[in-house]
């Protein structure tokens, strides 16, 4: 079982949260982490790895953005990273947002419990009445439709197809691609499925924090936001 974890951030993000994220991941996970760099010396230069990304940004950077839901250019970096890594000779690609922190050790058995089954293409953080929280997901690169799914996901951006959707961020686009295909999925949300933040309120919260939005500046999510109590010292 060959797993590759990936993330990306720009230089400002690296300084604010990225270096801490990478250090905590590498200290606590038994699998490699690849950082796709945006304007700094990282593991892989994102623009070089994804030829369509620069053209996409040039075509669309002048589009008006009222909030994150319509900021296609911002989230295209994440999609480019995923599509590049997912075409390599690995069994599973694990996407991890750059504004996360691994607070407790993750074992190989823990990782095995996160992986989609043979018949499932993606394990993700689904939630009731809302698109998935895509700060963390796992792709099964040995699924018979994997290449097809990655091509569809990439074409949503390289051919500007995402602009036909009601929202343009990666979570909405990925959900559209998955649901349109009818492909099988696995939930990583656990009890967090009924919350707006299943990342920290599901099983992943045992090991990780996800500092969405203004939480980045504080360096953690307030403990009161983890409504599922499991005795973890981090959330006390």
Instruction: Indicate the helix (H) or strand (E) that contains 101.
Output: strand 100-102
Counting every residue written for the chain, the total comes to 236
User: How confident is the model over 155-175, as a mean pLDDT?
Assistant: 98
Where residue 152 sits, what CATH number does that domain have? 3.90.550
Backbone angles phi, psi at 112, to 5 degrees: -55, -35
At residue 57 the predicted structure's pLDDT band, cuts being 50, 70 and 90, is very high
User: How confident is the model over 97-110, as a mean pLDDT?
Assistant: 98
pLDDT of 166 higher than 80: yes
pLDDT digits (tens, 9 = 90+) for 195-211: 999 999 999 999 999 99
Tell me the C-alpha distance between 225 and 192, whole Å.
11
pLDDT digits (tens, 9 = 90+) for 207-234: 999 999 899 999 999 999 998 877 789 9
For the chain, the average pLDDT equals 96
pLDDT of 28 higher than 80: yes
User: How confident is the model over 143-156, as a mean pLDDT?
Assistant: 98
Q: What is the pLDDT of residue 73?
A: 98
Q: What is the pLDDT of residue 2?
A: 97
Q: What's the distance, CA 90 to chain centroid?
A: 17
Q: What is the pLDDT of residue 229?
A: 78
* Greatest extent of the chain over all pairs of C-alpha atoms, in Å: 49
Q: What is the pLDDT of residue 180?
A: 98
Q: What is the pLDDT of residue 177?
A: 98
At residue 89 the predicted structure's pLDDT band, cuts being 50, 70 and 90, is very high
Q: What is the pLDDT of residue 96?
A: 98
Q: 29-38, 48-57, 219-228: lowest mean pLDDT where?
A: 219-228
User: How confident is the model over 59-64, as a mean pLDDT?
Assistant: 96
Q: What is the β-pairing status of strands 130-140 and 122-127?
A: antiparallel
Tell me the C-alpha distance between 209 and 10, whole Å.
20
Domain range enclosing 105: 3-235
Work out how many domains the chain is built from and give that number.
Answer: 1
């Amino acid at each position: 079982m060959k797993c590759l974890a990936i993330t990306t951030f720009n230089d400002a993000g690296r300084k604010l949260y990225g270096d801490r994220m990478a250090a905590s991941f590498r200290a606590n996970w038994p699998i490699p982490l690849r950082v796709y760099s945006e304007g700094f010396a990282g593991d892989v230069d994102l623009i070089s790895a994804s030829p369509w990304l620069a053209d996409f940004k040039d075509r669309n950077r002048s589009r008006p953005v009222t909030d994150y839901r319509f900021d296609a250019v911002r989230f295209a970096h994440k999609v480019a990273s995923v599509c590049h890594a997912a075409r390599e000779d690995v069994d599973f690609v694990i996407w991890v947002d750059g504004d996360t922190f691994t607070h407790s050790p993750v074992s190989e058995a823990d990782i095995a419990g996160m992986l989609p089954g043979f018949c499932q293409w993606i394990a993700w953080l689904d939630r009731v009445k809302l698109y998935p929280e895509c700060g963390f997901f796992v792709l099964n690169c040995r699924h018979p439709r994997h290449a097809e799914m990655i091509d569809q996901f990439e074409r949503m951006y390289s051919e500007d197809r995402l602009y036909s959707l009601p929202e343009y961020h990666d979570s909405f686009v990925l959900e559209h691609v998955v649901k349109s295909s009818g492909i099988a999925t696995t939930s990583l949300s656990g009890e967090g499925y009924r919350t707006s933040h299943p990342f920290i309120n599901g099983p992943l919260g045992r090991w990780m924090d996800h500092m969405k939005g203004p939480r980045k500046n504080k360096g953690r999510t307030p403990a009161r936001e983890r409504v599922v109590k499991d005795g973890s010292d981090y959330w006390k």
